[in-house]
Chain A
Amino acid sequence: MDLVLSEEQELLARTVREFVNGRSSLKRVRRLRDRHDADGFSRELWREMAALGWLGIVVPEEYGGAGLGWLELMVVLEELGRGLMPEPMISTVLLGTSALLLGGTDAHKREHLPAVAGGERLLAVAYEEPRSRYDLNHVEARAEKSGSGWLLSGEKAHVLDGHVADWLIVSARTSGGPRAAGGITLFVLRADTPGVTIERQSRIDSRNAARVRLDDVRVGAETVLGTVDHGGALLARVLDRATIGLTAEMLGGMTAALEMTVEYLKTRVQFGVLIGTFQALKHRAAKMYIETELARSVVMGAHRALDEGRDDGTIARLASVAKARCADAFNLIAKEGVQMHGGIGMTDEHDIGLFLKRARVAEMTFGDAGHHRDRVARLEGY
C-alpha cells in the first residue's frame, strides 16, 4: 500500500474539514469549558457524526459499521484534531470499539457495536489507576470469583469520557501480584451497575476524564472480555490501536498550531518590519514544519500497518515510534507557538494556549515519549 491518500480519502478529509469549520469552532470548545457543560461535548454533533458514518469507520458492516480502513479513520481524526474537537472519539471509537473488536464475543459485538456506530452508546475504558503511571500491568483493582460471576473492587483514574459513558470496560486483577503481567482480566459492564461511582476530573485541556470507584460491583460471567487472566495482552493491543489513532489527532493539532503561528509571523510588526523576516524565527518555524512532515509520515505508516493487518510486534513498534514523535513534535510546536506569539500567547483569550494544553495531555495519554522509547528498546531486546 502506497503512503499516499487516495482521492476518496482526500475527499473525506475535505468533508470533515468543512464539517469542523462549519459546525464547530474553538469558540464552541471554549463555551463547553467556560459554561462547565455537563456533558463536555455536543450530543447533537455526535449524532451528526454518526449519521455521516464516522463512528463506525473500522467497524465491519455486519456490526453496523462502514467496514473501511484505519487510514480513513486517520483522516477524520486528523481533521477533528485541527479543531480540538472534544467529542468522545478516543474513548468510544478508538479504545472501546477496539476492545470489543479484538476481545469481544459475537454476542458482545452485536450488543455494542451497532449502537456505538449509530451514536447511541458511549464507551469508556478504565485501565489506569492513580499509581499506575504508564504501566498497563500495574493493576490493583481486584475481581474475586463470586458464584457464577465476579465481584469487582478498586479505583481507576484518568478514565477518558468516564462520566458520560454508558458502558465501561474495566481491567481488574484476577490473579498474581499488583504488577504481574499475567492475571489481568477485562470486564464490560453498564456504567450504572450498583457499586460503580464515577466522579468527573478537571484537567488542563478541559476534556472529559473521570475517577471510577468500584465497590463490590457484582457482574456476571458474560461480562468477561477475552479470556480470564489474559486481559493484559488484549489491553496492550487495544492501546496500540488507540495510540495510533491518537497520533492522528495530534498531527491535526500540531498542524493547526503551526499554521496559526506562521500566520502570526506574517502579520505581526515590530521594529517596523514583519517579525517573520527575522531569521531567528524563520529557522525555528522551518524546523517545526519538518517535524510535522516526519510526524505525518509515521502516523500514516502506523495506520497503514493496521490496514495491512501486520503482526502485533510491528504494530506495537510503530505505535510507539509514532506516539513518541508526535508527543515531542506537538509539544515543541505548541511551546514555540506560544513563544513566537509573545505576550498575547500567554493570555487565555488567544487560542494558541489551547493547543499547548492539549499537547501536554495528549503526550501523557497512553504514555509519554520517554515511555515509548523505552518500550521500543525493550521490544528490540536491549
Chain B
Amino acid sequence: MAELETFREETRRWLQANAPASMYTPYKTQDELCWGGKKMQCPPDTKRWLEVMAERGWTAPTWPKEYGGGGLAKAEAKILAEEMGKLRLRPPLIGFGLSMIGPLLLQEGSEELRRAHVPAIAKGEIRWCQGYSEPGAGSDLASLQTKAIRDGDIFVVNGQKVWTSYGDKADWMFVLVRTDFEAKKQDGITFLLMDMTSPGVSVRPILLISGSSPFTETFLSDVRVPVRNVVGNVNAGWAMAKVLLGHERTMIADAFKERDDAKRLVSLAREYVGEADGCIADPLLRDAITQVAMDQACLDLTLERSRDNMKAGHKPGPETSIFKYYGTELNMRRRELMVSITGPQGLGWEGPGYDEDELKLTRDWLRSRGNSIEGGTSEVQLNIIAKRVLGLPD
C-alpha cells in the first residue's frame, strides 16, 4: 500500500509539472480533445500534452511498455485516472485506436501486426475508423456484402461501407469483408486492417438532420490489402467483430456520463422557466429533471457494480446491452428535455435571435436521435437481453 501511495504522490507531482495550463479547462464536446492521426489539427497545448503523456506511455496506461504503453498495473492505472480526475485534466488522447483496435490487436493480433500498429496508436500517430455497416447491412450486420477476393498474398476489396465515424479524418480502417460466399453468413467474414490512402478508397461525408457530418460513406474499388493484415484468421472475423461491439457499447454508455448535466438542467430551467417559492416554476418540468438525474444515478451505480463484479472475478454478463440501451435512451430523454426547457428559443437553426449555446443544444438534441440506432439499435439490444438473459425462445 505504501508503494501505491508513493506512486500517487509522484504521479500527482508529475502531472502538475507537465500538464499545460489549458488542459485543466473543461471541454464541451469530444471534438475539442485530441484524436491523433496524420491529419490532426489541434492547439499547441493539446499537442504538447499528447507528446509528454505518450512519452511516458500514459496515453495507454495499462498497455505493455514494449508496445508504447505505460506498463502500469491495474491499481496504478486506477490511481492515475483518479489523480487526473481530481485535477480535472483532459485525457491526452481518445479515439477508436485506443478504445477498440489497440486492445483487440493486443489480445488477438499477430506479433507483426502488434509491432506495426500498437505503438503508433499509443503515440497518437495514426487515427482509426471502423468499417462495419453497409447500405444493406445495418442491424443485420452479418449480412454484409463487401467482397474480398484473394490474389496471392493480397485481398482485392470491393464494396461500400456506411456510417463510418470520422472516415474523412482517419488514416486506417478496420473493416469487415466477406471472404466466403458459400458459408453461413457469420462464417464467411474476415477482419482486415486497411490503409485509407490505398488507391481505390474514397470517402464522402454524410449530412445529418443535425447539420453535422460525423459519419462518412466509404467506397472501396479494387483496393489491394495484404493478407498479413488479417486479424485472427480468414473467415473468423465475426468473433473479432463481436469482441469489439462489446467495447463499443460500453464506450457509448460511458460517453453519456456527463457529470454536470443534472446541474445544467436545473440552471437552464432557472433561466428559461423561472422559479416560484424556490422551486422550478413548472412542476412537470421539475419532475422530469429529477427523473433524469435519478435515472442517471441508477445507471452510474450499475456501471460501477458491473466493474466491481468483473474485478471480483465474475464473468461479464449482458451488461453492455443494458448500458447501450439505457444509456442512449436516457441521453435522448435529457436532450429532448433541454429543448423543452428552452422553449421557442430551442427551435433556432442559425442566425440572429439565438445564442451559441441555444443553437448547440438544439443540434445536440437532433443528433441524439441517432443514439438508439448507432452501435446496434435499441430493439437489437432488447432482443439480445430477451434471448441471452431471459432465455426466451426464437
Hey, which bits of chain A sit against chain B, CB under 8 A?
A: 2-4, 262, 265-266, 274, 276-277, 279, 281-283, 285-287, 289-290, 293-298, 300-301, 321, 324-325, 370, 373-374, 376-378, 380-382
Contacts of B262 in A (CB 8 A): 380
Of A266, A285, A289, A297, the contact of B298 (CB 8 Å cutoff): A297
Is A4 touching B298 in the complex (CB atoms < 8 A)?
no
Using A4-B309, A282-B392, A377-B290 as known contacts, say yes or no to A382 and B279 having CB atoms under 8 A apart: yes
Structural contact, A297 and B305, CB atoms closer than 8 A = yes
Contacts A282-B382, A282-B383, A370-B287 given; does A4 touch B312 at CB 8 Å? yes
Interface positions, chain B 256-287, Cβ under 8 Å from A, are 262, 266, 269-270, 275, 278-280, 286-287
* Given A2-B311, A3-B304: A325 touches B294 (CB 8 Å cut-off): yes
Measured CA separation A4–B289 after assembly (Å): 29
Evaluate contact between A262 and B302: CB separation under 8 angstroms. Answer: no
Instruction: Assess the B392–A2 pair: CB atoms within 8 A.
Output: no
B301 to A300, Cβ gap below 8 A? Answer: yes
- Taken together as a complex, chains A and B put the C-alpha atoms of A274 and B390 apart, in Å, by 14
List the 7 closest pairs (A to B, CB-CB), nearest first. Answer: A282-B386, A297-B301, A286-B385, A2-B308, A3-B305, A297-B302, A286-B382
A274 to B383, CA, bound (A): 16
Q: Is the beta-carbon distance between B304 and A373 smaller than 8 angstroms? A: no
Contacts of B294 in A (CB 8 A): 321, 324-325, 373, 376
> Distance (Å) between the CB of A298 and the closest chain B CB?
5
Q: Which residue of A lies closest to B297 (CB)?
A: A321
CA distance A381 to B325 in the complex (A): 31
Residues in B with CB closer than 8 Å to A3 are 301, 304-305, 308
Chain B residues within an 8 Å CB radius of A325 = 294, 298
Select from chain B the residue with minimum beta-carbon distance to A2.
B308
Least CB separation from B326: chain A residue:
A290
Contact of B390 among A2, A286, A381 (CB under 8 A): A286
Complex CA–CA separation, A67 to B269 (angstroms): 46
Cα A57 to Cα B111 in complex, Å, equals 55
Chain A residues with CB under 8 A of B291: 373
When distances are taken between beta carbons in the complex, the residues of chain A under 8 Å from B242 are none
Contact A380 to B302, CB < 8 A, known contacts A277-B394, A279-B383, A293-B322: no
A-B contact pairs, 20 of them (CB 8 A): A3-B301, A3-B304, A4-B311, A262-B390, A262-B391, A277-B392, A277-B394, A282-B382, A282-B392, A285-B386, A286-B389, A286-B390, A290-B325, A294-B299, A321-B294, A325-B298, A373-B287, A373-B290, A377-B289, A382-B286
In the assembled complex, the CB of B259 is this many whole angstroms from the nearest CB of chain A, namely 14
Bits for B355-380, please: 1 = Cβ < 8 Å to A, else 0.
00000000000000000000000010
Nearest A residue (CB) for B287 = A373
Decide: B305 and A382 in contact? CB cutoff 8 A: no
Beta-carbon contact of A4 and B390 below 8 Å:
no
Confirm or deny: B351 has a beta carbon within 8 angstroms of a beta carbon on chain A. Answer: no
B298 and A274: CB pair below 8 A?
Answer: no
Q: B385–A290 contact, CB under 8 A?
A: yes
Decide: A4 near B386, CB < 8 A? Known: A285-B392, A377-B279.
Answer: no
List of B residues within 8 angstroms of A277 by Cβ? 392-394
CB–CB B298/A262 < 8 A: no
Q: Which residue of B lies closest to A290 (CB)?
A: B322
CB distance from B183 to the nearest CB of A (A): 27
The reply to whether B298 and A376 form a contact with Cβ atoms under 8 Å apart is no
Q: How far is the CB of A306 from chain B (nearest CB, A)?
A: 15
The residues of B that contact A281 with a CB separation of less than 8 Å are 392
B269 proximity list for chain A (CB < 8 A): 382
Partner of A377, one of B286, B301, B302, B392: B286
Interface assignment of B314: CB less than 8 Å from any CB of chain A: yes
Given contacts A321-B297, A374-B287, A376-B290, contact A283 B279 (CB under 8 A): no
